[in-house]
Amino acid sequence: MANDQKKINNGILKDLDFYHTLLDSITDSVFVLNRDWEYILVNQKAADLVKMTIEQLLNNKITILFPGIEKTKFYRLYEQVMKEKKIERTIDEFVHPDGSKGYYEVSVYPVPEGILCISRDITNSKTIEEELLKEKLFTETALNTQQDTFFIFEISTGKALRWNKAFRDISGYSDQEISTMKAPDSYYSEEDLKKAEETIETTLNESISNTEIYLITKSGKKIPFEYNTSIMKDSEG
């Protein structure tokens, strides 16, 4: 009997070792909170994420370890899943106890003990996204503050891709109208369209060109413009 019990205990220990190894091999943060808001399961990634040890987290309440967490979007989601027992997901910023900040995508699942939370650190991708948005805002501001018109369209379809405020104001068309109009046909006379075609052909062959043609506004007024043209290529050429 003693040998049988020893075998059982050894088997349990092996299972536990495998279980903990598997849990810690997961690259996402994984933790379980019981209905008293205590950590009852934590992997190493979860401990690293909040810059604490597993021992510091286990059997302690999240509300005590992280004062003010009740005011966060994450905690409100935890409460919602704990109450409604439905899977939820969110992305938000979290401020660590040392004052550092990060962005995390958190999925919350109802489990018999309480809630299972799987969190992924997306700080780097979020930072890149914010930098791209800043760059876009800067570019749009720069384009919209200049008095010269700026207009980009797809040669094969005539679809307008980008234009600035000056083009919109001078042409008299709304952004919605410009987005549905075919360029350059919608803005120039037959004679000027021929000149535009010649200019496009020159641009395709020499990468840059210029011409002077009359822009026909929504009201029918013709305004002379000198256009400098160049090719812009996307990642597909």
- Domain map of the chain by residue range? 2-122, 146-230
- What is the per-residue pLDDT across 17-74, written as a single tens digit (0 to 9) for each? 545 565 665 678 899 999 999 999 999 989 988 888 999 999 999 999 998 889 989 9
Distance CA 209, CA 172 (A): 26
Q: Which fold has domain 146-230?
A: Beta-Lactamase (3.30.450)
Amino acid at residue number 160: A
pLDDT given for residue 155 in this prediction: 77
What is the Cα gyration radius of the chain? 31
- Write down the CATH number for the domain with range 2-122: 3.30.450.20
What is residue 207's DSSP assignment? S
d(CA 89, CA 117): 10
Residue 168 has pLDDT above 50, yes or no: yes
Does the pLDDT at position 5 exceed 70?
no
2-122 and 146-230 share one CATH topology?
yes
Instruction: Determine the pLDDT at residue 82.
Output: 95
pTM of this structure: 0.51
